Structure 1
Amino acid sequence: MSAFLTVCGKFLVGVLVIFGIWTLLVVLFEPPSFMLPGPLEVLRSFPANAPFLLHHAGITALETVIGFVLGVSCGAMLAVWIWLYPLAGRIVMPTILVTQALPVFAIAPVLVLWLGFGMSSKIVMAILVIFFAVTSTVYDGLRRLDSGLVDLARLYRVPRFRELWVFRLPAALPAFVSGIRVAAVFAPIGAVVGEWAGAKGGLAFIMLQANARGNADLLFSAVILLALMVLALRYAVEHLSKLLVPWQVED
């Protein structure tokens, strides 16, 4: 409970600092409201648009969570498969690297063309954005086993699957946690990029509509909701990481 209160306190301080800087910029430069509305104007727009905003935020949140879970699962399983079958990994890894080299804004329209304007293209986009980070971190964790344990496994001629289960997977847990921490930040970005290319709903859908109509209050409200979503997912992952690696001490 005390840890939760500490996180809430830090969050409130961060919010106050951001809102203070935002207010200062509006007061000093007096930009037109359609370019940069004041924080109070944006906050006043929330009650009027709350049902609309929450409905579309729910769509983006669902896309993000499903993409996050599937991306993390696929990335971890792919890393295990590459370690178990190194020859196959040498063939698969270049293909994975090519997919990561392509700009996400180039992939998103293709996914919308193939999978339509529904949630499927956004979920796949979120998976593509995060699964390589999980694959690479977990694979590094599987490879970097203590040399003494490696010698012990070789001495007793431990089968490769048993070595994976007994030695490699527990040793790779901290690396897996690092991977899902990165994925928690980028999964919402993948979903939003997918919505930006074409969608029937979601926060990016609101941003596009609000931008076209010059409704900056609604646009900033959607951005704030997206930021809150990222923070909530990151906090959930931090809590999960403490359950997975309780022995890891943080500075």
Structure 2
Amino acid sequence: MLPGPMAVGAVLVEQHEFLLRHARLTLTGTLLGFAFGVAAGVLVALVMWLSPLIRRGLLPVVLVTQALPVFAIAPILVLWLGFGLASKVVMAVLVIFFAVTSSFFDGLRRLDPGLSDLSRLYRASRWQDLALFRIPSAMPALASGIRIAAVFAPIGAVIGEWVGAKGGLAFIMLQSNARMQTDVMFAALALLAVMVLSLRFLADRLTRLLVPWQVED
């Protein structure tokens, strides 16, 4: 029931081509979902800050996307978009969308009082205030949202595969679990763990480029 590390390692070596082929499918869905989710979150946060009227309409929708259980949405997405890559990407976007939107929007709203006074002193327009003061000030908050998204993006892709897929790490887990091949299942889990850690590492490097002035302990 619980394979030893040697058994899992043997599967990783003996079936590495099979496992890596399916891992690439999961990684593709994860990276696409991460990219689209971050882009959508940034765009929605900007629109909500620029237009209070749109904000009142969009904010409940954003909250609902986070409140709905993803396992309830996943089968519907598979029915709409099929068993291919699209449903996995959309699921990853839904999982990380709220974290990026919420973090960046809060950063845009919480401008330092000194910078806010400086913006009013120079009579900056709303667009100038956004570009010169609020976006640079909100970059640390956006960086935090991106780091969170990097961890949860693989979960969205895996949930999509779990509900219905032709391949991927979750597909291997389901098949191996049904056949009591727990060593194969744990090998897929090990690859998923490596994927999450690698994506978080890359997100850390990316956010340091976005916020080079932020001092980290």
User: TM-score scaled to structure 2, two decimals?
Assistant: 0.98
2:145 aligned with 1:172: no
Give 1:162 shift.
1.1
Match of 1:213 in 2: 179
Task: Provide the C-alpha distance between the structure 2 equivalents of 1:145 and 1:237, rounded to a whole number of angstroms.
Answer: 24
Q: Which of 166, 169, 181 is the aligned partner of 1:200?
A: 166
- Name the aligned partner's letter for residue 114 of structure 1: W
Task: Output one character per residue of 1:177-220: Cα deviation in whole Å (capped at 9) or x when no partner.
Answer: 00000000000000000000100110000000000101011000
- Name the aligned partner's letter for residue 204 of structure 2: E
Match of 1:222 in 2: 188
Task: Provide the C-alpha distance between the structure 1 equivalents of 2:213 and 2:66, rounded to a whole number of angstroms.
Answer: 33
Q: Which of 1, 5, 9 is the aligned partner of 1:43?
A: 9
The alignment partner of 2:124 has SS state of: coil
Task: Provide the C-alpha distance between the structure 2 equivalents of 1:48 and 1:211, rounded to a whole number of angstroms.
Answer: 19
Q: State how 1:145-164 maps to structure 2 within 5 Å.
A: 145-164=111-130
Task: Output one character per residue of 1:23-82: Cα deviation in whole Å (capped at 9) or x when no partner.
Answer: xxxxxxxxxxxx101000110111221111000000000000000000000001110110
Match of 1:18 in 2: none
- Name the aligned partner's letter for residue 188 of structure 2: A
Give 1:150 shift.
1.2
- Name the aligned partner's letter for residue 211 of structure 1: N
The alignment partner of 2:212 has SS state of: coil
Give 1:91 shift.
1.1
Task: Provide the C-alpha distance between the structure 2 equivalents of 1:123 and 1:214, rounded to a whole number of angstroms.
Answer: 29
What is the number of equivalent residue pairs in this alignment? 217
Task: Provide the C-alpha distance between the structure 1 equivalents of 2:25 and 2:104, rounded to a whole number of angstroms.
Answer: 30
Q: Which of 101, 110, 127 is the aligned partner of 1:144?
A: 110
| 8 Å contact from structure 2 (residues 100, 142) kept in 1 | yes
Q: Which of 18, 21, 27 is the aligned partner of 1:55?
A: 21
Identical pairs, percent? 63
Q: Which of 56, 68, 85 is the aligned partner of 1:102?
A: 68
Larger Rg: 1
Match of 2:45 in 1: 79
Give 1:244 shift.
1.3
| 8 Å contact from structure 2 (residues 65, 98) kept in 1 | no
Structure 1 segments unaligned to the other structure (5+ residues)? 1-34
Q: Which of 140, 143, 152 is the aligned partner of 1:186?
A: 152
Task: Provide the C-alpha distance between the structure 1 equivalents of 2:5 and 2:74, rounded to a whole number of angstroms.
Answer: 32
Q: Which of 10, 16, 31 is the aligned partner of 1:65?
A: 31
